[in-house]
Amino acid sequence: MHIPDGFLDTKTWVSLTAVSAAGVAIALEKARTELDESKVPLVGITAAFLFAAQMVNFPVAGATSGHLNGGVLSAILFGPWVAVLIMATVNFIQAVFFQDGGITALGANLLNMGFVTSFLGYGLYRLFAGAGSRVIRRIGIFAAAWTAVVASSAAAALELAVSGTVPLGIALKAMVGWHSLIGIGEGIVTVTVLRYLTERKAVWNLSADRERGQAL
Amino acid sequence: MKSRKTVLWIRLGSGLAVPFLVAGLLAPFASSKPDGLERVAADLGFSEKAAPDMWTTPLSGYSVAGVDQPILAVGLAGVLGTALTSLCAIGIGRWRTRAKETVPTRNGRE
């Protein structure tokens, strides 16, 4: 759901660019304490994986297509602030080098696909992370990933409506409708990748982070 | 005896195999159906509001300019983007974790 240039009016994209820029500045500061040096290689792999996975659109209901967002996956692995930096890296490269998402819409896109997914998904994940049952934890991760994608699409609909591009009601209905299907893919991929990494937890030093590692 | 750091970077090399394979081998066969927003824009009739790109690069649209074979052009664009993304993310990660080293520790060392 990368918004191109032209869909957002000036007041909207300027405000959202300012909000995202401020958020990235905070994230850079937070990363100093929240990112352990031993996790830097996995941050690089995750960002690269998300760039690659975002190229792989899967067909949805014969009418549209979706791809992984990865904000929730990153937030579970590294916490929401580092996740925002990963999403910012991916969205920036997509916009500047691949013309995927507008330059003026970069702030809005990062807000929707970085901040909303990372923070909302992480919050929901934490609700289930303490559950004793692995099945419940996995359902929690699926639900967090699905909800994050749907909320992200609702945020995009709101921005389009505020810009006067399309009325809010029909924008919300259409965006949330399709993304509630696309979000199923997000949930499946997020759970699958985390399962894979959990089985190799020691390799990636994930257990070093007790708070998050134990809940994977 | 390999240092802990060396081990980490070896893992980085092997771990990057997955994204490179996804970008190089899967991306060329991705669905070309419109994504969620494109679909909505078409259905609700605001697609034409999209402005032309401010600039283009040899990688625009996930296809390397000048490569005639479409599968190759997309795969190559994916591999280049994956390399660029991993370098940027690792650069940011190293920059931020190094910034931490200059923060004074609790017992006054450093």
| Digit-coded pLDDT (tens) for A173-212 | 999 999 999 999 999 999 999 998 888 876 666 644 445 5
pLDDT at residue A31 in the model: 97
Q: Do A64 and B36 touch (CB under 8 A)?
A: yes
| Digit-coded pLDDT (tens) for A77-122 | 999 999 999 999 999 999 999 999 999 999 999 999 999 999 999 9
Handedness of CA B2, B3, B4, B10 (dihedral sign): negative
Q: Do B82 and A64 touch (CB under 8 A)?
A: no
Q: What Rg, from alpha-carbon coordinates, does chain B have?
A: 21
pLDDT at residue B107 in the model: 53
Q: Least CA distance to A66: which residue of chain B?
A: B35
Q: Least CA distance to B15: which residue of chain A?
A: A45
Q: Do B88 and A89 touch (CB under 8 A)?
A: yes
Report the complex ipTM. Answer: 0.94
Q: Least CA distance to A65: which residue of chain B?
A: B35
CA B108 to chain centre: 40
- Whether A34 and chain B come into contact, CB under 8 Å, resolves to no
Whole-number Å distance between alpha carbons of A76 and A193: 11
Output the tens digit of pLDDT for each of chain B's 110 residues: 578 778 877 888 889 999 999 999 999 999 999 999 999 999 999 999 999 999 999 999 999 999 999 999 999 999 999 999 999 999 999 999 997 666 555 554 44
Query: Which A residues 76-115 touch B at CB under 8 Å?
Result: 85-86, 89-90, 92-94, 96-100, 102-103
- How close, in Å, is residue B57 to chain A by CA atoms? 6
State both tokens at A93: 């490269």
Q: Do B50 and A35 touch (CB under 8 A)?
A: no
Whole-number Å distance between alpha carbons of B63 and A97: 11
Q: What is the largest CA-CA distance in chain A?
A: 51
Q: Do A175 and B36 touch (CB under 8 A)?
A: yes
